[in-house]
């Protein structure tokens, strides 16, 4: 039962760190002001490999927490040029090794090709540094076994940036509300992760399952993170999972649809991920999360709200026995950057426990490995 205990300790500590008790209008104004850099130069960090644009949000989060960006290294000159334009303080390293061997660096960030992320993380930890990687941070159960072994041996942090929770203000707000008990005990989460294909902009590795891990491993890792977080489950198993390549026969190693049913010891979950966002939508994806409780429910429209006149993202709807209300969450503070840097400095687990990080990914990997491959005969 150690896992469950760790999970509950994390819920308590993260609630305190997020300012759970401060839910008034006064806090919203203070939150906006405190969204700027917390404290400069608390740690020094470098970036290695930037094959996904998530690296920009990851870098900004660590900088908000007080990180000083020192190095950038990647093989692709065009990607490096774009990154250094946004972060001119970064020095261009001659090699990956130059960054790894800088003893003044405490942390490495990466959004490399997915299959290469775990091997890099192993090297990072073996060089005595912590690691923050884009999802999917691990693409196979074999990689997971190796990462867990090295993490345990070195005591370093191996953290995966589940940005649909950490970098979405409405989801952060939902976490605060759930912890107050306003919707009672959480019964189920429903996570929908649609994405736009943007086929012309995708690199070759994007279509190769051996390199990106499969659609559930990739996109679904976000939803497993949210399932564990909101239900508080310490143990969970995959009830069923399926994947398909419905629309892109020219890419036989690609998957454009996946869904999963998961059952935990504290709640249930349903996950659907796909690459079918229409071009007519004013966002890359109409991401949604529904959190069903015994006394109410929360629905989050993460990036767009097509059913109202509300602009942009970060929309939350709260329904309880007393009221139905809409909450604009754009003034909510994103606490991850500060909490994560705190963890690097203090060797704590306030942003996310190591167990949670690995378990969310493990569930995605198991669902992917055991997924039924659905094919249709078209007539």
Q: Give the model confidence (pLDDT) of 227-265 as tens digits.
A: 999 999 999 999 999 999 999 999 999 999 999 999 999
Q: In what order do the strands lie in the sheet with 324-328?
A: 324-328, 315-320, 296-301, 288-293, 186-194, 267-274, 257-264, 236-244, 372-374
Q: Smallest Cα–Cα separation from 216: which of 113, 301, 140?
A: 140
Per-residue confidence band for 39, with pLDDT thresholds at 50, 70 and 90 = low
Q: Is residue 34 predicted with pLDDT exceeding 70?
A: no
**Domain definitions of the chain by residue range:** 40-161, 165-334+366-374
State the pLDDT at residue 40: 67
**pLDDT averaged over the chain?**
91
Rounded Cα–Cα distance for residues 259 and 255 (Å): 11
Contact 227, 162 (CB under 8 A): no
Phi, psi for 323 (deg, rounded to 5): -165, 165
How many CB atoms neighbour CB 324 within 10 A?
9
Q: pLDDT tens, 334-348?
A: 999 999 999 999 999
Contact 59, 85 (CB under 8 A): no
Reduce the DSSP state of residue 131 to 3 states and report it: strand
State the pLDDT at residue 38: 56
What burial class does residue 157 get, using C-beta atoms within 10 Å of its C-beta: 0-12 exposed, 13-18 middle, 19+ buried? Answer: buried
Per-residue confidence band for 376, with pLDDT thresholds at 50, 70 and 90 = confident
State the pLDDT at residue 332: 97
Confidence (pTM): 0.89
Rounded Cα–Cα distance for residues 328 and 331 (Å): 8
Per-residue confidence band for 139, with pLDDT thresholds at 50, 70 and 90 = very high
Q: Judge whether 40-161 and 165-334+366-374 match in fold.
A: no
| DSSP state letters, 294-319 | TTEEEEEESS--TTSS--SS-EEEEE
> Which residue did the predictor score with more confidence, 41 or 153?
153
Q: Is residue 1 predicted with pLDDT exceeding 50?
A: no
Which residue bears the tokens 């399952």? 209
The dihedral over CA atoms of 354, 356, 361, 366, expressed in degrees to the nearest 10, equals 120
Q: pLDDT tens, 122-133?
A: 999 999 999 999
The mean pLDDT of 18-42, rounded to a whole number, is 44
Q: Smallest Cα–Cα separation from 220: which of 167, 270, 282, 170?
A: 270
Contact 101, 126 (CB under 8 A): no
Rounded Cα–Cα distance for residues 81 and 363 (Å): 36
State the pLDDT at residue 29: 35
Phi, psi for 44 (deg, rounded to 5): -115, 140
Interhelix angle 77-86/54-64, nearest 10 degrees: 30
Q: pLDDT tens, 48-75?
A: 999 999 999 999 999 999 999 999 999 9
Phi, psi for 124 (deg, rounded to 5): -60, -50
Contact 308, 290 (CB under 8 A): no
> Which residue did the predictor score with more confidence, 37 or 121?
121
Answer yes or no: CATH 3.40.50.720 is held by domain 40-161: yes
Q: Is residue 14 predicted with pLDDT exceeding 80?
A: no
Per-residue confidence band for 13, with pLDDT thresholds at 50, 70 and 90 = very low
Contact 72, 80 (CB under 8 A): yes
Range in 15-24, 85-94, 274-283, 308-317 with the lowest mean pLDDT: 15-24
The percentage of the chain sitting over the pLDDT mark of 70, rounded to a whole number, equals 89
Report whether the peptide linkage leading into residue 136 is cis, meaning its omega lies within 30 degrees of zero: yes
Q: What is the CATH number of domain 165-334+366-374?
A: 3.30.360.10
Q: pLDDT tens, 152-172?
A: 999 999 999 999 999 999 999
How many CB atoms neighbour CB 85 within 10 A?
8
DSSP state of 49: E
Q: Is residue 37 predicted with pLDDT exceeding 90?
A: no
């Amino acid at each position: 039962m150690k896992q469950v205990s760790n999970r509950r300790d994390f819920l308590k500590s993260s609630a305190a760190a997020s300012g759970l008790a401060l839910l008034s209008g006064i806090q919203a104004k203070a939150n906006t002001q405190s969204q700027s850099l917390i404290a400069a130069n608390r740690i020094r960090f470098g970036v290695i490999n930037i094959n996904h644009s998530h690296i920009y949000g990851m870098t900004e989060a660590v900088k908000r927490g007080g990180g000083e960006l020192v190095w950038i290294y990647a093989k692709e000159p065009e990607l490096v040029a774009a990154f250094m334009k946004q972060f001119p303080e970064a020095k261009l390293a001659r090699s990956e090794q130059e960054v790894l061997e800088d003893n003044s660096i405490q942390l490495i960030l990466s959004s490399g090709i997915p299959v290469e992320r775990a091997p890099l993380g192993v090297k990072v930890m073996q060089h005595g540094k912590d690691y923050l990687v884009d999802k999917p941070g691990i693409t196979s159960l074999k990689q997971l076994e190796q990462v867990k072994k090295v993490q345990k041996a070195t005591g370093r942090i191996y953290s995966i940036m589940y940005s649909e929770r950490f970098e979405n203000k409405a989801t952060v707000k939902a976490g605060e509300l759930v912890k107050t008990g306003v919707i009672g005990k959480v019964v189920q989460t429903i996570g929908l992760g649609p994405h736009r294909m943007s086929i012309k902009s995708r690199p070759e590795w994007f279509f190769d399952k051996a390199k990106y891990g499969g659609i559930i491993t990739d996109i679904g890792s976000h939803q497993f993170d949210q399932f564990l977080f909101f239900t508080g489950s310490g143990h969970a198993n995959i009830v069923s999972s399926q994947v398909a390549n419905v629309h892109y026969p020219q890419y036989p190693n690609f998957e454009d649809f996946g869904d999963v049913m998961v059952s935990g010891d504290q709640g249930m979950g349903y996950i659907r991920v796909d690459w079918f966002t229409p071009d007519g939508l004013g966002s890359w994806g109409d991401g949604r999360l529904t959190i069903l409780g015994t006394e109410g429910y929360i629905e989050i429209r993460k990036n767009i709200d097509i059913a109202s006149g509300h602009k942009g993202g970060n929309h939350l709807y709260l329904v309880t026995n007393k009221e139905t209300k809409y909450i604009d969450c754009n003034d909510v503070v994103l606490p991850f950057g500060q909490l994560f840097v705190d963890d690097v400095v203090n060797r704590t687990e306030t942003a996310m426990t190591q167990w949670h990080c690995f378990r969310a990914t493990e569930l995605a990997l198991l669902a992917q490995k055991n997924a039924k491959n659905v094919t249709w005969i078209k007539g």
